Amino acid sequence: MTLVYLHTSNGMSKSAFEAVTYAKKLGNEVIVLTAGNADANTLATLGSFGAQKVIVNRAIDGSDEQQVSTWVCNHAANAENILFLHDVAGKAIAPRVSVRLKAGLVAGAVALPEMDQTIKVNVFSGKAFGFVKVNSQKRIISLLANSIAPEKIAEVCPVEEVNETIESSGIKILSTKKPEGNIPLPEAELVVSAGRGLKGPENWGIIDDLASALGAATACSRPVSDIGWRPHHEHVGQTGIAIRPNLYIAIGISGAIQHLAGVNGSKVIVVVNTDKEAPFFKAADYGVLGDAFEVIPRLTEAVKRFKLNQ
C-alpha cells in the first residue's frame, strides 16, 4: 500500500493531484491521509487520480507537524511507500516520519523510481541530479511540485471522516499574515520576473500588466528586493526561494549564477535584455534583445490578442 499525506487546509492544489498520480504509478493501492476541515466532496476528487480512499482526521488541523507525524506513523504499518509533497508541510513532516519509522527518505523527488528502484532528485541547486537508493524496507518520498502531470483515471472515491486525537507539540499559532500576491510564487506555473534593468520601483507597472495578462506570479532578483523596490518574498535565487515554473520570463536580469540557481529548474526560460552578452541568454530557450520599456508593453498586447482568440 502507498500512503499519501496531503495538507488540504488551504484548498486542493494541482500538486495534490500530482502526488496521487505519482502514488498510483508506484503500483499499489493508494490511501490518502489529510487533516483539517476541507469538505468531503472536494477530498473525494482525489479518487479521480487513483486514490482508493481518503481518511480525514477532523480532530487535528494539520498545522502542528509533530502531531501530524504521529498520526501518519499510526497508519503506516502496512505501507511500503509513504509519500509527501516537498512543500512547507512535507519538509517538516517527512523527516520526522523517517526517523520514527527508521525508513529512508528521498527528499525532493522529481521522477518515478527507475528500473533499479533509485529515485531522481535535484542536487547542487539544480546544477546536477542524483539517483537515491533507499536501503530500508519502507520508503518515504517527498515529491517536488511540477514533476509529473496529473492523470485522471477514475471517479471520486469514498472519504472516511475520523476523530483521532493526538497529543499536541505545544506550538501555538498566534496569527497568520496572508501573502500580498494573488498567486503564491512557489506554486505558480507562469512567472514574470524583473531585475535592476527596470531602473526603479515606479516602473513595475509594465511587469504587473504582463503578469496579469498571462495570469502569472511576479518575482525579482535579489538587489531589487534588497533595496526595497519589491517585497522580500519575491526574491528568487540561491538565497531567496527556488522555483521551477513551466515558464519563467526574466526581464532586465543579468543572469548571475546565484540568480540562476533558483530558477534553472524552469521548463522554459524567456530572457529580455538590452545586453547581448548578458549571461542569462545562455540559460534561455527564447531571447529578446531589446529595451524592456518597449518590448514588454508590446508583449503584453500580444498576449492579450492571443487570449482573445483562444
Partner 1 sequence: MKTLVCISKAPDTTSKIAFTNNNTAFDEAGVQYIVNPYDEWYALVRALEIKESVGGEVTIVTVGPNEDDAIMRKALAIGADKAVRIDANPKDAYFVATQIATYAKTIGFDMVLTGKETINYNGSQVAGMIAESLGFPLISLASKLDVEGTTLTLEREAANGVEVVSVNAPIVVSCAKGMAEQRIPNMRGIMAARTKPLEVIPPAACDDLTTFATFGSPLAKSEVKMIDPNNMDELVALLHNEAKVI
Query: From the CB of 205, what's the least distance to partner 1, in Å?
Result: 18
Question: How many residues appear in the chain?
Answer: 310
82 contacts 72 by C-beta, under 8 angstroms:
yes
Dist CA 251 CA 63 (whole Å): 37
Closest CA to 4 of 25, 34, 28: 34
Question: Is residue 196 a contact residue for ligand FAD (CB under 6 A)?
Answer: yes
Q: How many residues bind partner 1 (CB under 8 A)?
A: 93
Coil, strand or helix at 289: strand
Q: Which stretch binds ligand FAD (CB under 6 A): 4-12, 65-73, 159-167, 289-297?
A: 289-297
Question: Is residue 258 a contact residue for ligand FAD (CB under 6 A)?
Answer: yes
Q: Which of residues 250-309 bind partner 1 (CB under 8 A)?
A: 257-258, 261, 267-268, 270-271, 281-291, 294-295, 298-299, 301-303, 305-306
Q: Give the H or E element holding residue 96.
A: helix 88-101
Query: From the CB of 257, what's the least distance to ligand FAD, in Å?
Result: 7
145 contacts 21 by C-beta, under 8 angstroms:
no
Query: In the sheet that 53-57 helps form, which strands lie side by side, from edge to edge?
Result: 119-123, 104-109, 139-143, 81-85, 2-5, 30-35, 53-57, 159-162
The single residue among 44, 73, 156, 256 that binds ligand FAD, judged by CB under 6 A, is: 256
Residue 252 binding result from partner 1, ligand FAD, none, given CB thresholds of 5 to 8 Å by partner type: ligand FAD
Question: Is residue 147 a contact residue for ligand FAD (CB under 6 A)?
Answer: no
Residue with cell 495538507: 7
Q: How far apart are the first and last CA of the chain?
A: 43
Question: Is residue 31 a contact residue for partner 1 (CB under 8 A)?
Answer: no
Beta carbons within 8 Å of 234's beta carbon, 6+ residues apart: 181, 185, 218, 219, 220, 224, 225
Residues 43-82, one symbol each (x = binds partner 1 by CB under 8 A, - = not), give --------------------x-xx--x-------------
CA dihedral 229, 235, 236, 240 (to 10 degrees): 150
The single residue among 47, 237, 245, 265 that binds ligand FAD, judged by CB under 6 A, is: 237
The single residue among 40, 77, 88, 162 that binds partner 1, judged by CB under 8 A, is: 88
Question: What phi and psi values does residue 308 have, to the nearest 5 degrees?
Answer: -60, -35
Residues 167-206, one symbol each (x = binds partner 1 by CB under 8 A, - = not), give --xxxxxxxxxxx---------xx----------------
Residue 75 binding result from partner 1, ligand FAD, none, given CB thresholds of 5 to 8 Å by partner type: none
Residue 149 binding result from ligand FAD, partner 1, none, given CB thresholds of 5 to 8 Å by partner type: none
Closest CA to 243 of 181, 182, 188: 188
296 contacts 206 by C-beta, under 8 angstroms:
yes
Question: Is residue 186 a contact residue for ligand FAD (CB under 6 A)?
Answer: no
Question: What phi and psi values does residue 192 have, to the nearest 5 degrees?
Answer: -110, 125
Q: Which of residues 98-127 bind partner 1 (CB under 8 A)?
A: 98-100, 102-108, 116, 118, 122-127
Q: Which stretch binds ligand FAD (CB under 6 A): 54-62, 90-98, 179-187, 247-255?
A: 247-255
The binding site for ligand FAD (CB under 6 A) comprises 195-197, 221-224, 237-240, 252-254, 256, 258-259, 262, 272-275, 278, 291-293
